[in-house]
Amino acid sequence: MSKKPIIVFEGIEGSGKSHHIKKIVNFLKKKKVDFLFLREPGGNANSEKIRKLILSKKTKFQPKTDLLLYIAARNENISILKKNYKKKIILIDRFIDSTLAYQHYGMGLDLNFINNVNKFILDGLKVDFTFLNVVSEKNMIKRLRKRKKLNRYDKFDNNFYKKVQKGFIKMAQKKPKKYFIVNSNLEIKSNEKLIINIVKDLI
Ligand code: TMP
């Protein structure tokens, strides 16, 4: 019987996260497997409105305002997630780890507060598995330089993304059975195969 997991994809800007999600989405479509895909912030009409607000280049919010808006955007996804939980495979492009990595490890906001507010809105919902895409410092700098400044969160300095990635890695290392760290410095095709094989096992 299918396990219908919640699978999350995390990683800093330019880590290759979006590429691998696309590959998995295509793989599931080809296999005619029913799934739900959400991105955060965003994912549904209400949450996308909040996304625009947070990420607009014209926005100048305080870090705590950003945190509360990311949580608000997430909360707009919870009923959709609950409705589909264990009924469909759920793929999410960024989730609670992004809040911890960016708002706590990157911006220094309180870890306990973030954990508590996530717990409050998640109401028992649990992520089954996370793919964390990581890049070396050298490639991080190269890839970040190449990126167009698409939104407000594409514009931080390299040091910020270094702290964020370190935070992601710390979380992954605490629960090694629940994470797979994708070494995005390696050949992209071999990573695609690795990820698809893990997904096959997970579903
Ligand atoms: P994206 O461009 O991958 O969709 O991500 C949007 C940005 O939002 C990205 O820079 C990470 C950031 N983010 C946070 O800072 N906290 C969060 O909780 C989430 C979900 C995203």
CATH at 162: 3.40.50.300
145 band by pLDDT with thresholds 50, 70 and 90: confident
| Pocket of ligand 1 from Cβ distances under 6 Å | 13, 39-41, 70, 94, 98-99, 102-103, 153
Give yes or no for residue 191 having a pLDDT over 90. Answer: yes
Atom of ligand 1 nearest to the CA of 39: 4
Asked if residue 103 lies in contact with residue 114, where contact means CB atoms within 8 angstroms, the answer is yes
Domain that holds residue 10: 6-190
Asked if the peptide bond before residue 41 counts as cis, ω within 30 degrees of 0, the response is: yes
Say if 203 falls within a structural domain. Answer: no
Domain-located, residue 121 = yes
Residue 57 Cα to ligand 1 midpoint, Å, equals: 14
Domain presence at residue 72: yes
Q: What is the pLDDT of residue 147?
A: 80
Mean pLDDT of the chain: 95
Q: Whose CA is nearest to atom 15 of ligand 1?
A: 102
Instruction: For residue 198, tell me if it sits in a domain.
Output: no
Q: Does the pLDDT at position 1 exceed 90?
A: no
Residue 96 domain-assigned? yes
Span 171-195, average pLDDT: 96
User: What is the number of domains present in the chain?
Assistant: 1
Band (151; pLDDT cuts 50, 70, 90):
confident
Q: 28 or 149: whose pLDDT is higher?
A: 28
Q: 202 and 3 in contact (C-beta within 8 Å)? A: yes
